[in-house]
């Protein structure tokens, strides 16, 4: 069964600290993996996208890693800011004729002063 | 603004009424998707269009739900005889190749 799991379900960190979010997937055939940031009540916004051959990609203070062998990905946030408070969703695409995606349940991150 | 736009952003309706949401994708995008999202959950796939053709529908899309994309541009999602369980955010996304671009969503509250 194609599935994407994320941990932790929620996380509270102090402003300025780093954190790492995890994503495990059982999706086949794998095409790519993306991390999205979703502010409360808004649509998801893409942070990174990685294909099978890429194992790390950065976007400012966000760094995503991918281990295609173990089917795991992580999103590392450096020097967190209050505006990082959001849900972070891991999305895995299947290699099909169109962009069929499987969404993870998301990790809710709260950055507090 | 050249992003995906959705209308209305919020809708409160009485149980049993019909509602319609509209999505205007990014102009050159031929692929359009509808998702439903409830609080604390990731988006759930509802249906997919390539141009005007509806190529896939989730089993979540019951007989009360219908989606159209008549000219391969904008799309509508209609929910008939709404139920309280339909309360959710309805997200539209479009793509040309790989990247999905989401709209801001349409919140539906059924009272």
Per-residue pLDDT reduced to its tens digit, B28-69: 899 999 999 998 888 999 999 999 999 888 888 889 999 999
> Is pLDDT above 60 for B1?
no
- pLDDT class of B99 with cuts at 50, 70, 90: confident
> Is pLDDT above 80 for B2?
no
Distance, CA of A4 to CA of A92 (rounded, Å): 7
- pLDDT class of A4 with cuts at 50, 70, 90: very high
> Is pLDDT above 90 for B91?
yes
Average pLDDT over residues B69-94: 95
DSSP structural state of residue A41: T
Residue A97's pLDDT is what? 65
Task: List the single residue in A with minimal CA-CA distance to B47.
Answer: A100
Q: Are B43 and B33 in contact (CB under 8 A)?
A: no
Give φ, ψ of B86 to 5 degrees.
Answer: -80, -10
> Is pLDDT above 80 for A108?
yes
- pLDDT class of A10 with cuts at 50, 70, 90: very high
Q: CB under 8 Å to A68, separation ≥6 — which residues?
A: A30, A52, A55
Contact B101 A46 (CB under 8 A): yes
For A39-83, the pLDDT digits (tens) are: 988 899 999 988 888 899 999 999 999 999 999 999 999 999 999
Distance, CA of B24 to CA of A15 (rounded, Å): 37
Looking at the DSSP bridge assignments, the partners of residue B91 are B35
Task: List the single residue in B with minimal CA-CA distance to A108.
Answer: B40
In chain A, residues 50-109 whose CB comes closer than 8 Å to chain B = 89, 91, 93, 98-101, 103-106, 108
Contact A101 B40 (CB under 8 A): no
In chain B, residues 1-60 whose CB comes closer than 8 Å to chain A = 4, 6, 31, 33, 35, 40-45, 48, 50, 55-56
Q: Return the percent helix, strand and coil in chain B, to nearest 5.
A: 5, 50, 45
């Amino acid at each position: 069964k194609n599935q994407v799991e994320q941990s932790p379900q929620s996380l509270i960190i102090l402003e300025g600290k780093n954190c790492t979010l995890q994503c495990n997937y059982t999706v086949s055939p794998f095409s790519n993996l993306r991390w999205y940031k979703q502010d409360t009540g808004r649509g998801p916004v893409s942070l990174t996208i990685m294909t099978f051959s890429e194992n790390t990609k950065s976007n400012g203070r966000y760094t995503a890693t991918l281990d295609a062998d173990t089917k795991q990905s992580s999103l590392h946030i450096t020097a967190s800011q209050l505006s990082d408070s959001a849900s972070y969703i891991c999305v895995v695409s299947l290699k099909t004729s169109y962009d069929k995606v499987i969404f993870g349940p998301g990790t809710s991150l709260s950055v507090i002063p | 603004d050249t992003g995906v736009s959705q209308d209305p952003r919020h809708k409160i309706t009485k149980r049993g009424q019909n509602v319609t949401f509209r999505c205007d994708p990014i102009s050159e995008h031929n692929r359009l998707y509808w998702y439903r999202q409830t609080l604390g959950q990731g988006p759930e796939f509802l249906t997919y269009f390539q141009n005007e053709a509806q190529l896939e529908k989730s089993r979540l899309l019951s007989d009360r739900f219908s989606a159209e994309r008549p000219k391969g541009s904008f799309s509508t999602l209609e929910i008939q005889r709404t139920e309280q369980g339909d309360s959710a955010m309805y997200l539209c996304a479009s793509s040309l190749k790989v990247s999905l671009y989401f709209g801001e969503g349409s919140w539906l509250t059924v009272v």
